[in-house]
Amino acid sequence: MIRIDKFLSQMQVATRSESKKLIKNKRITKNGVTVTDGGEKCDPDIDAICLDGVPIAYQEYHYVMLHKPTGCVTATEDRYDKTVMDFLPEKLRRGLSPVGRLDKDTEGLLLITDDGALNHQLLAPGKHVPKTYYARIDGIVTSADVVKFQSGLDIGEKKRTAPAILEILHAGETDSISEIKVTITEGKYHQVKRMFQSVGKKVVYLKRLSMGSLTLDETLAPGNWRALTKEEITNLKDEKA
Ligand code: URA
């Protein structure tokens, strides 16, 4: 059982003080009866709590997929730069944080949630789920690079990188751009860029396509977001790292 005002803020319907107003204005009902006290308890699994007669669906956590555009930082706040949170409505932002990081100049799939257990499950050291990126590379990516990525690369850390799957989509010619897909299972700082640097090449465009079972919804333009479907949430939770 939780307090109705707490339930309303947990559901991101209103802040604690906005909830008071909604209750004062008789806009909240519990099982059809107008709620007059925010301290009244409810069981969200059993009681029908409505705002203006519309049921508020009980969801303990929130899960958002953002198509991160370039030019913003993966943080909940920043003094100088726009953050990924600025693309979400204010009501939704409270308590949410991004799962992992994309560089300011990287775009693509970013999961944002307040489910700390899932965040940990997806990112705990040694348990990273596979993440696939599309990239454009300045230079000619070769099958020798594919083998090197598979064997693990020295990117200046104590340990070599874990095996990564590099797929050449378009090999490029002298002085031109190659297109690749790469799947990594770690989350080291600037990892994809540093992996290409270690084979003498430069990433000029990077986009994350997937994280475990979660795939970027290509109908989302950069800067747009949507809630995850129930199926996407269940699949992510079932993810075997
Ligand atoms: N690797 C990078 O170099 N940058 C990212 O944003 C993500 C992976």
Query: Count of H helices and E strands in the chain?
Result: 7, 15
Q: Which of 84, 133, 157, 203 to mutate to test the pocket of ligand 1 (most atoms within 8 A of CB)?
A: 133
Residues 6+ apart with CB under 8 A from 110: 65, 66, 67, 68, 74, 84, 98, 99, 100, 102, 208
Quick one: pLDDT at residue 47?
Answer: 87
DSSP structural state of residue 84: G
103 is catalytic: yes
Quick one: pLDDT at residue 16?
Answer: 78
- 104 CA to middle of ligand 1, Å? 9
CA separation for the pair 164, 183 (Å, rounded): 6
Q: Two tokens at 130? A: 């596979």
Quick one: pLDDT at residue 17?
Answer: 82
CA separation for the pair 149, 153 (Å, rounded): 6
Q: Tell me which residue of 92, 121, 77 sits closest to 211, measured CA to CA.
A: 121
Q: How many CB atoms lie within 10 A of CB 183?
A: 16
Q: Which of 86, 103, 138, 217 is catalytic?
A: 103
Residue nearest to atom 7 of ligand 1 (CA): 102
> Considering just the CA atoms, what is the radius of gyration of the chain in Å?
22
Q: Tell me which residue of 139, 137, 151, 146 sits closest to 203, measured CA to CA.
A: 137
- 226 CA to middle of ligand 1, Å? 23
Q: Which domains does the chain have, with CATH numbers?
A: 2-55 (3.10.290.10), 63-125+213-237 (3.30.70.580), 130-211 (3.30.70.1560)
Quick one: pLDDT at residue 215?
Answer: 98
Give the nearest ligand 1 atom to 208 CA.
7
CA separation for the pair 174, 41 (Å, rounded): 69
> Is residue 78 lining ligand 1, measured as CB closer than 6 Å?
no
pLDDT tens string, the chain, 241 residues long: the values are 999 998 888 887 888 788 889 999 999 999 889 999 999 999 887 888 999 988 887 777 999 999 999 999 999 999 999 999 999 998 888 889 999 999 999 999 999 999 999 998 898 877 789 999 999 999 999 999 999 999 999 999 999 999 999 999 998 777 689 999 999 999 999 999 999 999 999 999 999 999 999 999 999 999 999 999 989 999 999 886 5
> Is residue 22 lining ligand 1, measured as CB closer than 6 Å?
no
- 189 CA to middle of ligand 1, Å? 7
Quick one: pLDDT at residue 240?
Answer: 60
Strand order across the 54-55 sheet: 33-34, 28-30, 49-51, 54-55
CA separation for the pair 120, 114 (Å, rounded): 11
Q: Which of 68, 192, 196 to mutate to test the pocket of ligand 1 (most atoms within 8 A of CB)?
A: 192
CA separation for the pair 155, 196 (Å, rounded): 9
Residues 6+ apart with CB under 8 A from 230: none
Quick one: pLDDT at residue 176?
Answer: 86
Residues 6+ apart with CB under 8 A from 16: 5, 6, 9
